[in-house]
Structure 1
Amino acid sequence: MRKVLAGPADRLPRPPYDAEIDTIFKALGGMPERYEVEKLRKDALARTQPLTNALLADKSITVEDISIPGPRQDLTLSVVRPVATSTCDSHPCIFYIHGGALVAADRFAGLDTSVVWAREFDAITISVEYGRAPENTGTQPAEDCYAALQWAGNHLSELGIDPERLLLYGTSAGGGLAAATALMVRDKGGPKLCGLVLECPMLDDRNEKVSSQQFSTGPFYNSTLNRFAWRCLLGERAAGSSVSQYEAPARAHDLSRLPPAFLDCASAEPFRDEIVAFASKLWEGGVQAELHVWPGGPHGYERILPTAPFAILARQTRLAWIQRIFS
């Protein structure tokens, strides 16, 4: 079992939390003294299980599990369809990669949003159960995602997916894996992607940016937990010179020839500056990218306080971008 002691207190001034978020922050109190993989997994399951149960009970969609060959072992995909979808139709598809700090959660984490995508876009969603750290290390989680996307790309017709409207979407750790998967598609070949959505993505193992230092502590996701998560994936190589772009996409020197991208995050989270830097690197490579930094939120603000005005606006803005890409 991997453990890490909590880091020193933040020493830099921090952008303030939204007033409603600040109330939650004060109620939660201090951070744990140490992080443990099994506790992170247990907590993630407790948070997501009610939403998973609601998804599986929703009559507007169907959920089918498919087992496919993976790089090391079989992988499970969940395919979510609007009830009216048939394999004779050609629908947009969102290939979704879940978050969980690389170590926790499963393919259903965040998948409740697939109900919204089915309603708004008549879209099929595919979610992959990639191998989590520390059992899977280095590029292995990204290789799982790439293999699953390759499989989907080879079965678009039978899945009822429009080959011109296949979008890659990742949240948090899944956002980093989505960026790594997009780089693999560019460099190694793969299905055509019409867009790439990186929702508060986890991109950089080095934790060097100002926002990482500002938010090294706190009850929300912080850079002390982030260091722990990266060490679960990379071991002693974390923050060193041998980490590849397929492990930590912020290491990429060239982001050209990636699909149009949408990136967002919050102002009061450790990932803020690495996400802004990644967007700048996309623009440097000639990629059409849209970036939003929502004021006052911590990492995961949409799940912490989904009724906050900025959280509602963030969801609406993301959906509008996807609509434009699919149209």
Structure 2
Amino acid sequence: MPLDPELRTLLATMPPAPPLTAETLDQIRPYAAPPFTPGDAITQREVTIPGTGIPLTVLSPASVLPADAPCVYWIHGGGMVMGNRYSQIDIPLEWLAELGVVVVSVDYRLAPEAQGSTPVEDCYAGLVWILEELGADPSRVVVAGASAGGGLAAGVTLLARDRGLPSLAGQILIGPMLDHRNRATTSEPGTWTREANEFAWRSLLGDRNDISPYVSPALADDLSGLPPAYIDAGSAELFRDEDVAYGNRIWACGGQAEVHVWSGGFHGFDALFPGAALSAAARITRTGWLSRLLSRNRHMSGASSPRRGTKLPR
């Protein structure tokens, strides 16, 4: 698929990266540092979920109490094998600045050290902490993520439905990694190849044959009863077809989904080059959807909110 001309020019300026393999993984596993300084109008709190050791970072506007504001639960990308809770966090920080949301970001355990359902269960534990300990109103909580984080966000949302958590406000799936079968017919001319995708899923799944739909959400038989979804992808990315298919299946179950395919976008284009015109359009559109969602839910908040400290299904 052809790339957007501006993105193609920007992509050509990047130094070549080594292929993603077991031998190169350690050298290309970056540690993303916080993209803000203590002087910013952001309150930062570091938390470890009791009994799990899973770290969370809670970021909120300095003048806002976290329990009183809408919350975005951010799950980072990196193919299940890379990244940390600060990866791509500039995306939800825009929502903090523009919409006044609290952002909670999770450091789930990575493959191949952690396999199977471990990463999605780590992320689910973070959602339970948000509802139990932060005291967030579930009708104002949005689960969001990019790439692998988008796939995990979809899996967490399915788990929340099936384990009987109160209904969430929505889910934002940005170029989500949804299908371990790696069935795209072509390899994208951008940042995430079929070979990298195969390595990532193999690292997560090992030799397993019985794959959970919470790990590979494209396998889920039933997509009914989910909160509204925003799904976007680039027309030139490997995940385009599986992402559009997921949105179609939500519609077929009578659910709400807004699906955008950005012409000429490769995987992660708006995170890698946020200043490009197509990236700006994608971000503005996504923020607009979130703003409308939170505005609609503002008057309905509290009805399904558990009291702080209430124990929820694990």
Q: TM-score, normalised by structure 1?
A: 0.84
User: Shift of residue 106 of structure 1?
Assistant: 0.3
Letter of the 2:28 counterpart: D
Structure 1 residue runs of 5 or longer lacking an equivalent are 1-14
How has the CA–CA distance of structure 1 residues 121 and 24 changed in structure 2, closer, same or farther, with 3 Å as cutoff? closer
User: 1:65 — aligned with what?
Assistant: 46
SS of 1:141's equivalent? helix
Deviations 1:105-148 (A, max 9, x none): 10111123343222211111111111111111111100111111
User: 1:45 — aligned with what?
Assistant: 30
More helix by share: 1
How has the CA–CA distance of structure 1 residues 105 and 132 changed in structure 2, closer, same or farther, with 3 Å as cutoff? same
User: Shift of residue 44 of structure 1?
Assistant: 4.7
Deviations 1:60-79 (A, max 9, x none): 11211101135xx3111100
User: 1:176 — aligned with what?
Assistant: 151
User: 2:122 — aligned with what?
Assistant: 144
User: Shift of residue 282 of structure 1?
Assistant: 0.7
User: 2:99 — aligned with what?
Assistant: 121
Letter of the 1:36 counterpart: T
Maintained 8 Å contact 1:220/1:298: yes
Pairing 1:91-240 to 2, within 5 Å after superposition: 91-157=69-135, 161-208=136-183, 212-215=184-187, 218=189, 220-237=191-208
User: 2:97, 2:219 → 1: CA distance?
Assistant: 37
Letter of the 1:135 counterpart: E
How has the CA–CA distance of structure 1 residues 80 and 41 changed in structure 2, closer, same or farther, with 3 Å as cutoff? farther
Identity of aligned residues (%): 41
SS of 1:150's equivalent? helix
- Which of 56, 59, 63 aligns to 1:77? It is 56
User: Shift of residue 37 of structure 1?
Assistant: 4.9
Maintained 8 Å contact 1:41/1:103: no
User: 1:12 — aligned with what?
Assistant: none
Q: Provide the aligned length of Structure 1 versus Structure 2.
A: 295
SS of 1:213's equivalent? coil
Are 1:316 and 2:295 matched, yes or no? no
User: 1:77, 1:202 → 2: CA distance?
Assistant: 22
Maintained 8 Å contact 1:204/1:251: yes
Maintained 8 Å contact 1:267/1:297: yes
User: Shift of residue 43 of structure 1?
Assistant: 3.3
How has the CA–CA distance of structure 1 residues 64 and 156 changed in structure 2, closer, same or farther, with 3 Å as cutoff? closer
User: 2:144, 2:110 → 1: CA distance?
Assistant: 18
User: Shift of residue 28 of structure 1?
Assistant: 5.0
User: 2:275, 2:88 → 1: CA distance?
Assistant: 16
User: 1:303 — aligned with what?
Assistant: 271
User: Shift of residue 296 of structure 1?
Assistant: 0.6
- Which of 12, 17, 20 aligns to 1:35? It is 20
User: Shift of residue 20 of structure 1?
Assistant: 2.0
SS of 2:230's equivalent? strand
Letter of the 2:58 counterpart: V
User: Shift of residue 236 of structure 1?
Assistant: 2.5
Q: Which piece of structure 1 moves more, 58-67 or 142-151?
A: 58-67
How has the CA–CA distance of structure 1 residues 177 and 300 changed in structure 2, closer, same or farther, with 3 Å as cutoff? same
User: 1:263 — aligned with what?
Assistant: 231
User: 1:144, 1:58 → 2: CA distance?
Assistant: 31
User: 1:99, 1:109 → 2: CA distance?
Assistant: 7
Maintained 8 Å contact 2:108/2:119: yes
User: Shift of residue 278 of structure 1?
Assistant: 0.5
User: Shift of residue 42 of structure 1?
Assistant: 4.2
SS of 1:236's equivalent? coil
CA RMSD between the two structures: 2.0
User: 1:10 — aligned with what?
Assistant: none
SS of 1:276's equivalent? helix
How has the CA–CA distance of structure 1 residues 39 and 80 changed in structure 2, closer, same or farther, with 3 Å as cutoff? farther
User: 1:23 — aligned with what?
Assistant: 9
Structure 2 residue runs of 5 or longer lacking an equivalent are 296-314
Maintained 8 Å contact 1:80/1:114: no
User: Shift of residue 188 of structure 1?
Assistant: 1.1
How has the CA–CA distance of structure 1 residues 219 and 316 changed in structure 2, closer, same or farther, with 3 Å as cutoff? closer
Letter of the 1:310 counterpart: L
User: Shift of residue 184 of structure 1?
Assistant: 0.5
Maintained 8 Å contact 1:56/1:63: no
